[in-house]
């Protein structure tokens, strides 16, 4: 009779625990048949629309209990950590502790250095997982938002790279116009995904945040301040706050923040010119006070 070792049962319980959390946030997980270190491939979605990327998840079950300080210490092969941290797709490592019945997770890309993994004298590295690493529906949703934002950042960076590469070509003008249209389209889709744009109009709550940010810039302006704030800076501040709220604490890469702020300002100015004039007046008044 075939035997089923305890380690296989533990691995199955660990995968089920992770899949259960993913199901809570509407993500679909499938087992990877050809396993090179990742156990699940995950399709996430925003509303009813599937994201244009997938996640890879490595699941590990352990009989190790939490330390007295509530931390789970577990070792991983250095080469595995390097692979996960350098993977083109986002990778999450989830650890299920059988004694505590708790799930922890970490992103190798944010937890280890490729240089450290390449030059390490050791074959393994211990990762410490505490309360901040506990894996739940809330933290899973935050990780998915991080991946979604990173996806948009990569798309923008790729096209900016292509634009820079084409600078020396005879068709630079044509390629630049084409690339700029694509960059604007990516920003348009991102602003829709985060709810700043509803269709092609700017969310009223977001417009209010921009106006509040503009007034704050005007009040805090001092004669000794270097540089001049612009309305697009208020857009950027409001965008950071908005994304922080909907994602549970995610930030924005510079390329996403800068380009999306410019696109949002265009829609704001065209759709709500009177509100935009009020915002601009905050910065004009601020500049006049500085000159006086």
Structural domain includes residue 266: yes
Pairing label, strands 197-198, 102-106: unpaired
Give the integer Cα–Cα distance in Å for 258 and 236: 7
Indicate left, alpha or beta for 159 from its phi (over 0: left) and psi (-120 to 50: alpha): alpha
Residues 281, 158, single domain; the answer is yes
Structural domain includes residue 126: yes
What pLDDT score was predicted for residue 116? 95
Last residue of a domain, one of 72, 100, 135: 135
Contact 122, 81 (CB under 8 A): no
Residues 68, 131, single domain; the answer is yes
- HEC string of the chain? CCCCCHHHHHHHHHHHHHHHHHHHCCCEEEECCCCCCCCEEEEEEECCEEEEEEEEEEEEEECCCCCCCCCEEEEEEHHHHHHHHHCCCCEEEEEEECCCCEEEEECHHHHCCHHHHHHCCCCEEEEEECHHHECCHHHHHHHHHHHHHHHHHHHHHHHHHHHHHHHHCCCHHHHHHHHHHHHHHHHHHHHHHCCCEECCEECHHHHHHHHHHHHHHHHHCCCCCCCCCCHHHHHHHHHHHHHHHHHCCCCCCHHHHHHHHHHHHHHHHHHCHHHHHHHHHHHHHHHHHHHC
Structural domain includes residue 147: yes
Residues 146, 68, single domain; the answer is no
Residues 150, 124, single domain; the answer is no
For the CA atoms of the chain, what is the radius of gyration? 24
Residues 251, 120, single domain; the answer is no
Residues 117, 243, single domain; the answer is no
Residues 55, 176, single domain; the answer is no
Give the integer Cα–Cα distance in Å for 98 and 95: 10
- For 265, the domain range is 140-291
- Give me the number of domains the chain comprises: 2
Structural domain includes residue 28: yes
For residue 220, give every residue at least 6 positions away whose Cβ sits within 8 Å of its Cβ, in sequence order, or none: none
Which of 62, 57, 88, 89 lies closest to 75, judged by CA? 62
Which of 181, 155, 190 lies closest to 261, judged by CA? 190
Structural domain includes residue 1: no
Last residue of a domain, one of 73, 100, 135: 135
Which of 36, 43, 34, 38 lies closest to 15, judged by CA? 38
Give the integer Cα–Cα distance in Å for 269 and 277: 8
What pLDDT score was predicted for residue 226? 45
* Cβ atoms within 10 Å, residue 284: 11
Give the integer Cα–Cα distance in Å for 105 and 60: 10
Residues 213, 76, single domain; the answer is no
| pLDDT tens digit at each of 292 positions of the chain | 666 788 889 989 999 999 999 999 999 999 887 666 689 999 999 988 999 999 999 999 999 999 989 899 999 999 999 999 999 999 999 999 999 999 999 999 999 999 999 999 999 999 999 999 999 999 999 999 999 999 999 999 988 887 776 666 666 666 777 788 899 999 999 999 999 999 999 999 999 999 999 998 887 765 544 457 789 999 999 999 999 999 999 999 999 999 999 999 999 999 999 999 999 988 875 444 444 3
Structural domain includes residue 251: yes
Residues 241, 105, single domain; the answer is no
CATH number reported for the structural domain that contains residue 24 in this entry = 3.40.1350.10
Residues 126, 146, single domain; the answer is no
| Distance between first and last Cα of the chain | 91
Q: What is the pTM of this model?
A: 0.85
Contact 42, 28 (CB under 8 A): yes
What pLDDT score was predicted for residue 71? 95
Which of 28, 48, 125 lies closest to 85, judged by CA? 125
Residues 261, 158, single domain; the answer is yes
Last residue of a domain, one of 135, 165, 181: 135
Residues 93, 183, single domain; the answer is no
Which structure tokens are listed for 133? 């690493």
């Amino acid at each position: 009779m075939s035997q089923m070792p305890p380690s296989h049962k533990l691995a199955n319980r660990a995968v089920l625990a992770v899949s259960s959390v993913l199901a809570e946030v509407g993500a679909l997980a499938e087992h990877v048949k050809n396993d090179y270190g990742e156990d699940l491939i995950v399709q996430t979605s925003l509303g009813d629309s599937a994201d244009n990327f997938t996640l890879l998840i490595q699941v590990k079950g352990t009989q190790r209990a939490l330390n007295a300080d509530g931390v789970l210490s577990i070792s991983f092969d250095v080469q595995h950590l390097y692979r996960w941290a350098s993977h083109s797709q986002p990778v999450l490592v989830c650890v299920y502790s059988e004694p505590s019945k708790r799930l922890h997770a970490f992103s190798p890309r944010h937890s280890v250095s490729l240089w450290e993994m390449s030059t390490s004298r050791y074959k393994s590295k211990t990762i410490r997982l505490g309360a901040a690493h506990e894996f739940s529906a809330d933290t899973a949703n935050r990780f998915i938002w991080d991946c979604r934002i990173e996806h948009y950042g990569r798309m923008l960076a790729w096209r900016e790279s292509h634009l820079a590469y084409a600078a020396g070509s005879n068709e630079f003008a044509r390629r630049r116009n084409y690339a700029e249209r694509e960059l604007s389209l990516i920003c348009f889709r991102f602003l829709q995904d985060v709810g700043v744009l509803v269709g092609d109009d700017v969310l009223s709550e977001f417009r209010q945040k921009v106006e509040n940010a503009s007034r704050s810039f005007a009040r805090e302006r001092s004669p000794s301040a270097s540089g001049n704030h612009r309305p697009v800076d208020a857009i950027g501040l409001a965008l950071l706050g908005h994304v922080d709220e909907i994602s549970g604490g995610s930030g924005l890469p510079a390329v996403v923040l800068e380009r999306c702020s410019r696109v949002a300002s265009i829609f704001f100015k065209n759709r709500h010119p009177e509100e935009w004039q009020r915002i601009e007046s905050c910065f004009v008044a601020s500049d006049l006070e500085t000159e006086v």
